[in-house]
């Protein structure tokens, strides 16, 4: 039902603009998602939707926002889907706040998601704005918008990912330890990594680009032969020694995606394991692949993906290899900063978004101060009550709410409550 309105006689229009809006959200059933009730996405969607839910399907992503590929709808008074959030914002642009409206126009600059990952997503990267415009113009059926897509994943459970290229010293160890790489790219090219210094940044990037492009461009028959050779060697060596985490991961990925070049390229990437409450952020043109677990994800409003392995979807290997930054080193892991009692903020270096995590014990209360930009709220656990100057109502698991700019929110929990807020980055909103 619609959030109950408590509008004063004076200033009713302004108060009504600040009323929270319940949303009905879209779901994606990509085949890498967890099945039925094993999926957090399924459980949230079942609580958020009146639709009949098929518990035998994979539930991979819940989308919250305005992107046309997975729009959110305002909930009507009778509980049915009303207009899209994007349409409502177009008719109520002040709900975004002046700074957001001036910067990004009449739309949310961020897209909010829940992900439930049962098996690896593709090795992929997202283009920067310049490349996104070019790709969208050339192939609008593949690249559905012209925006960049920086993103951040905040672990809800233990969450595993590949992210960015490993440091130079580790790369040298990989080339020594994995003969199949040299067999694929050639000894002369592979051995270049032993002749460069991490201080010669441009030369280092050039060498890694050459080796990685040769690896990813290997023909299918050669790839099949080398992957089989790698698998057989690791199985034999596992009888004599304990395999490394990365080697065990490679064997796991080979079962999921047999004969895929992404299996071997895994050795080039950082293997990141996030604990619940830790976050990983990714800029444009950085290679990554989510592997397993459940997370809250936020990104610039885009669905542009360039893929090169660990997938049955169309590949664009040459585009991916040419667009990457080839920066080496372990990614920064955000643990969040406590901004007030029970609220932790995750602040990546991107203007479009930030995330607040509210862990509110039973019977406790807190306040989200008003900010000069819009927010989306997602309840993932528990029950409580939420109120603003314009509205008040109960909230529970699966509720998704649009919060207009300049709206202060008071929360009180009746059971342990876990709630996430996605909003525009505070550094942008309060910069001069």
Let me know whether 249 and 284 are in one domain. yes
Looking up tokens 């700074």 gives 99
The predicted-structure confidence for 176-202, as pLDDT tens digits, reads as follows 999 999 999 999 999 999 999 888 999
CATH assignment at residue 21:
2.60.120.10
Question: Which pLDDT does position 391 carry in this prediction?
Answer: 85
pLDDT, average across residues 210-219: 97
Q: What is the mean pLDDT of the chain?
A: 93
> Does a structural domain hold residue 324?
yes
Banded pLDDT at 11 (limits 50, 70, 90): very low
Banded pLDDT at 16 (limits 50, 70, 90): low
> Does a structural domain hold residue 342?
yes
> Does a structural domain hold residue 272?
yes
pLDDT, average across residues 139-152: 89
Predicted model pTM: 0.93
> Does a structural domain hold residue 285?
yes
Render 140-207 in DSSP notation, one character per residue. Answer: TTTS--S----EEEEESS-EEEEEEEPPHHHHHHHHHH-HHHHHHH-HHHHGGGGG--TT-HHHHHHH
Banded pLDDT at 149 (limits 50, 70, 90): very high
Question: Which pLDDT does position 26 carry in this prediction?
Answer: 96
In this predicted structure, the answer to whether residue 71 has a pLDDT above a threshold of 60 is yes
Let me know whether 275 and 373 are in one domain. no
> Total structural domains in the chain?
2
The predicted-structure confidence for 256-310, as pLDDT tens digits, reads as follows 999 999 999 999 999 999 999 999 999 999 999 999 999 999 999 998 899 999 9
Let me know whether 254 and 327 are in one domain. yes
Question: Which pLDDT does position 78 carry in this prediction?
Answer: 60
Question: Which pLDDT does position 197 carry in this prediction?
Answer: 87
Let me know whether 182 and 171 are in one domain. yes
Let me know whether 291 and 345 are in one domain. no
Domain termination residue (choose one: 310, 334, 358): 334
Q: Which residues contact 53 (CB under 8 A, 6 or more apart)?
A: 42, 45, 46
* Domain interval for residue 256: 162-334
Joined tokens for residue 260: 């895929």
SS3 30: coil
> Does a structural domain hold residue 59?
no
Is there a contact between 56 and 36 (Cβ–Cβ < 8 Å)?
Answer: yes
Give catalytic residues, as residue numbers: 307
Let me know whether 367 and 308 are in one domain. no
Residue 257 CB coordination number (10 Å): 19
In this predicted structure, the answer to whether residue 225 has a pLDDT above a threshold of 80 is yes
Question: Which pLDDT does position 9 carry in this prediction?
Answer: 41
Let me know whether 297 and 348 are in one domain. no
> Does a structural domain hold residue 50?
no
In this predicted structure, the answer to whether residue 213 has a pLDDT above a threshold of 50 is yes
Joined tokens for residue 193: 């990594």
Let me know whether 255 and 394 are in one domain. no
Let me know whether 220 and 259 are in one domain. yes
CATH assignment at residue 214:
1.10.441.10
The predicted-structure confidence for 338-381, as pLDDT tens digits, reads as follows 999 999 999 999 999 999 999 999 999 999 999 999 999 999 99
In this predicted structure, the answer to whether residue 2 has a pLDDT above a threshold of 70 is no
What is the length of the chain? 432
The predicted-structure confidence for 73-109, as pLDDT tens digits, reads as follows 998 866 667 899 999 999 999 999 999 999 999 999 9
Binding residue numbers: 124, 126, 151, 288
Q: Of 22-26, 89-93, 143-147, 253-257, where does mean pLDDT reach its minimum?
A: 143-147
Of 9, 22, 20, 19, give the one whose Cα is nearest residue 49.
22
Let me know whether 341 and 330 are in one domain. no
Binding residue numbers for Zn(2+): 124, 126, 151, 288
Banded pLDDT at 141 (limits 50, 70, 90): confident
Is there a contact between 34 and 59 (Cβ–Cβ < 8 Å)?
Answer: yes
In this predicted structure, the answer to whether residue 6 has a pLDDT above a threshold of 50 is no
């Amino acid at each position: 039902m619609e959030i109950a309105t408590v509008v004063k006689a004076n200033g009713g229009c302004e108060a009504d603009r600040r009323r929270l809006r319940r949303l009905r959200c879209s779901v994606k059933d990509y085949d890498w998602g967890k099945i039925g009730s094993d999926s957090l996405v399924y459980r949230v969607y079942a609580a958020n939707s009146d639709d009949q839910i098929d518990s035998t399907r994979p539930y991979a992503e819940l989308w919250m926002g305005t992107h046309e590929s997975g729009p959110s709808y305002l909930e009507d008074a009778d509980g049915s889907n009303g207009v899209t959030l994007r349409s409502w914002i177009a008719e109520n642009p002040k709900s975004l706040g002046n700074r957001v409206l001036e910067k990004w126009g009449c739309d949310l600059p961020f897209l909010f998601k829940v992900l439930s990952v049962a098996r690896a997503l593709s090795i992929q990267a997202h283009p920067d704005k310049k490349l996104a415009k070019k790709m969208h113009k050339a192939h609008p059926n593949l690249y559905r918008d012209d925006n960049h897509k920086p993103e951040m994943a905040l672990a809800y459970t233990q969450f595993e990912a590949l992210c960015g290229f490993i440091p130079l010293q580790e790369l040298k160890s990989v080339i020594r330890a994995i003969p199949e790489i040299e067999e694929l790219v050639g000894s002369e090219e592979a051995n270049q990594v032993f002749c460069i210094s991490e201080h010669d940044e441009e030369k280092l990037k050039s060498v890694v680009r050459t080796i990685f492009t040769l690896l990813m461009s290997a023909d299918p028959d050669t790839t099949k032969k080398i992957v089989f050779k790698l698998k057989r060697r690791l199985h034999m060596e596992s009888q004599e020694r304990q395999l490394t985490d990365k080697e065990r991961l490679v064997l796991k990925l080979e079962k999921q995606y047999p004969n895929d070049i992404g299996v071997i390229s895994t050795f080039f990437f950082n293997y990141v394991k996030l604990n619940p409450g830790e976050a990983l952020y990714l800029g444009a043109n950085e290679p990554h692949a989510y592997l397993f677990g459940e997370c809250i994800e936020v990104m610039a409003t885009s669905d542009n993906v360039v893929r090169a392995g660990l997938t049955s979807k169309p590949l664009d290997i040459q585009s991916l290899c040419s667009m990457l930054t080839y920066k080496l080193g372990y990614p920064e892991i955000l643990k969040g900063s406590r901004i007030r009692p029970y609220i932790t903020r995750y602040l990546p270096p991107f203007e479009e978004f930030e995330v607040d995590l509210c862990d509110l014990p039973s019977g406790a209360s807190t306040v989200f101060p008003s900010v000069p930009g819009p927010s989306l709220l997602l309840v993932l656990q528990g029950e409580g009550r939420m109120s603003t100057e314009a509205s008040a109502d109960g909230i529970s698991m699966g509720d998704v709410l649009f919060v207009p700019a300049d709206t202060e929110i008071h929360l009180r929990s009746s059971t342990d409550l876990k709630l996430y807020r996605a909003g525009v980055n505070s550094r942008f909103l309060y910069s001069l």
